[in-house]
Amino acid sequence: MATLAPPGNVKAKFVTSNTNSEQLATALRPWRRRLALQQALSWTGRGIISGLILACLLLLVSRLTPWVTAPRWAIGIGIACSLFAFSAAIWYRPSLARAARRVDARLSLHDRMSTAWEMRKETAPLYGLQREDALKQLSQHVPSTAISVRPRRSSLVTSGIVVVALTLLVLLPNPMTAVLQQQAAFQVRIAKQIVANEHLRTSLAHMTNTSAQQRAQIDQILRDLETKLQNAHNETEAQQAIAEAQARLNQLRDPQANNQAQAHANASSSLESSSNASLSAVGQALATNDSKRLSNALQNLASQVSHMTPA
C-alpha cells in the first residue's frame, strides 16, 4: 500500500532549497560587484588609451595639412571614447549567472558555482549538497584578493608611450601654424574688403549724379565681387576678382575703353608678326604694356627710318 510523505518533510525541503538559493545569491553579490568594478576600470582604461591614440592621429594629420579645429576634435574624441567605454562597462556589467561562471574560471572551482546557480531552485537532496559544497569552496576565497583591479603592466607601458607622444605633438611647434595664420590674415582682409563694398553700395544709393540704370549696374558688379571674394581660396583669386570688377567699372565709365583695348591688342598683334625687327619689338612692347621697352623700340625704329635712302 502506497504511503504519502509527511507534509512537514516536503515543507522542510522547500525551505532548505529556498534558503540555499538565497545564500548562494548573497555569496555571489560581492564577487559580482568586484567583477563589475574590474570591468569598469579595465574598459575605461582601454577607452582612454584608444581616445589618446586617436587624438595623436588627428594632431599628426594637422601637422601635414592646415586644420584649425584639429585640437578640438582631438579633445572631443578622447572624451567620447572614455565615456563610451565607461558606459559600455556599466551597461554590460556581469549578471549573477555570468559572475558564477567567471568565479569558477578564476578560482578553478570546476563549474561548482555555475552548476549551483543553475540548479538553485531544485529541491532534491543531491542539489542541496552540491550547493553547500559550492558555498563551502567559495567561502575559502575573498573577492578583493582573488580579483585584482590593478592595471596590467602592458597597459601602463602603452599608456606611457601614448602620453609621451601626445605631449610631444602638443608642445612641439606645428609647421602648419604659419599657414593657418596666413589664412586667418587673408580672411580678415577679405572681410574688410566686403565691408568696404557694403559701405560703397550703401553710399551708391544716395548718389544723384548717376542714373538709376548705372547705379543698378554698379551695384550688381559690387555684388558679384562680394560673391567671388567670399569664394576666394587665396590672395591670387581675390586679386583677380578685384581686377575683373575694376575692369567692368572702367568699361561702364568709358564704353569706348573696350574698343580701344581691342584695337590696341590688334595693333600689337600685327606689329609682332612683322618681319621687321624694329616693328616686331614695338608690337611686343605694346602687348606687354612696357613703356620703357616701347620707347626704346620706337627710337630704334626712328633711327632705322632716318638711315633709309629714297628709291
DSSP 84-147: HHHHHHHHT---HHHHHHHHHHHHT-TTHHHHHHHTTT--SHHHHHHHHHHHHHHTT--HHHHS
Question: In 10 A of CB 307, how many CB atoms?
Answer: 7
Q: Quick check: 297 and 281 in contact, CB under 8 A? A: yes
pLDDT of residue 5: 43
Per-domain residue ranges for the chain? 8-171, 189-253, 263-305
Q: What is the pTM of this model?
A: 0.63
pLDDT of residue 297: 60
Nearest alpha carbon to residue 176 among 74, 76, 61, 73: 61
Nearest alpha carbon to residue 56 among 166, 159, 164, 161: 166
Per-residue pLDDT of the chain (311 residues; tens, 9 = 90+): 334 444 444 444 444 455 667 888 899 999 999 999 999 999 999 999 999 999 999 999 999 988 889 999 999 999 999 999 999 999 999 999 999 999 999 999 888 888 888 888 888 888 888 888 888 988 899 998 898 888 889 989 999 999 999 999 999 998 888 888 888 888 888 888 888 878 777 777 666 666 777 777 777 877 887 888 788 877 788 888 888 877 777 777 665 555 555 655 665 666 556 666 655 665 666 566 666 665 666 566 556 555 554 44
